[in-house]
Amino acid sequence: MTESDDQNMAADTREDQAFERLTRLTSGEVTTGELQALALWRAQSPENEAAFVEAGKLWHSVKPAVERVARQRRGMAAPTSGMPMRMGRRAMLGGALAASAAYLVVRPPLGLWSSLSELTSDYRTVTGQQRRVTTEGGATIELNTRTSVDIRLAGDTERIELIAGEAAITTAVRAARSIVALAGDGQATATDAMFNMRRDGPSVCITCVSGTVLVEQRGVPVTLRQKQQVSYTDAGLGPLVEIDPAGVTAWQQGILAFHDEPLGRVVDEVNRYWPGKIIVANASLAKRPVTARFKLDRLEDAITQIQLVFHASVTRLPGGVVILSS
């Protein structure tokens, strides 16, 4: 074996390691120790750093392939189960790309892109986008970031299914049709109301801004009036609470507002609008309280404020991944 062969083998090994580390980073299960090990590995040599940057470019290039597969599969049922895949760099570059993309379209790592059901919905928004839709019956739906909805007409009822994300729904004035908004295994019915519905996986939260809204889950009903909110999950319907709807609907004015919220929750909220993923590496840092207002069109300021207020270290990785640590 020549010296050149040794160098090529070392480069291949380094690139494979870089891709394996990046795959772990985007698995949603990365630990603080692994983040520290990644930082050390990147700092060991310029070659390691360059390999990681190239792996990030390769990983980012998967997104167009994912969306292409989704378009090809439009109208087909998505797989409902499957074991996590470990994809090597060569498999990604080779003929396995299509199969990998088919898996990733169903189970996007870290939520970095939309799932198949979201991509094939009637209306959807991408990261940072908001959109208004008017139904045939005159109701308006304001779609927040990363939101997907389907709309169907069933007799005298317009059925709006919130697949993912958040929507502010306003019924038409003197509407001839009632609105039924479905999310998960529950629904909200209204004829003269304005309400906000948000779905994060199995968790659904409904806030009545004005009028009345009938919320039902598995046959259990609760009526919401102005400034009232209820949530439900797989465990059932939660208690009715009194809230200030201005905070819930601040996104419609391009604002994220927080009052004494833990940093971890603040980052979770900012991530909905961030083109990538922000990770809080330390549990102690994630518990620090935050009171702040961030403009959606200037979210980079949120990173700067967190860095200054909490003296946090900021590590930026390919694909819009930002790691905050103390």
Task: List pLDDT tens digits, range 5-28.
Answer: 444 455 557 777 877 777 666 555
**Nearest one of 81, 69, 113 to 320, comparing CA atoms:** 113
Q: Per-residue pLDDT for 188 more than 80?
A: yes
pLDDT confidence of residue 324: 94
Instruction: Tell me the domains of the chain and their CATH numbers.
Output: 3-118 (no CATH), 123-248 (2.60.120.1440), 254-325 (3.55.50.30)
CA dihedral 237, 240, 244, 245 (to 10 degrees): 50
Task: Quote the mean pLDDT of the chain.
Answer: 80
pLDDT, average across residues 56-72:
57
Determine the Cα–Cα distance for residues 231 and 185; give it in Å rounded to an integer: 12
Q: Per-residue pLDDT for 83 more than 50?
A: no
Q: Per-residue pLDDT for 322 more than 70?
A: yes
b or e along 164-189 (b: 16 or more beta carbons within 10 Å of the residue's beta carbon)? bbbbbbbbbeebebbbbbbbbebbbb
pLDDT confidence of residue 271: 92
pTM of the model: 0.67
3-state DSSP of the chain? CCHHHHHHHHHHHHHHHHHHHHHHHCCCCCCHHHHHHHHHHHHHCHHHHHHHHHHHHHHHCHHHHHHHHHHHCCCCCCCCCCCCCCCCHHHHHCCCHHHHHHHHHHCCHHHCCCCHHHHCCCEECCCCCCEEEECCCCCEEEECCCCEEEEEEECCEEEEEEEEEEEEEECCCCCCCEEEEEECCEEEEECCEEEEEEEECCEEEEEEEEEEEEEEECCEEEEEECCEEEEEECCEECCCEECCHHHHCHHHHCEEEEEEEEHHHHHHHHHCCCCCEEEECCHHHHCCEEEEEEEHHHCHHHHHHHHHHHCCEEEEEHHHEEEEEC
Q: Is 197 left (phi over 0), alpha (psi -120 to 50) or beta?
A: beta
133-176, pLDDT tens digit by residue?
998 888 999 999 999 999 988 777 889 999 999 999 999 877 66
189-234, pLDDT tens digit by residue?
998 899 999 999 899 999 999 999 999 999 999 999 999 999 999 9
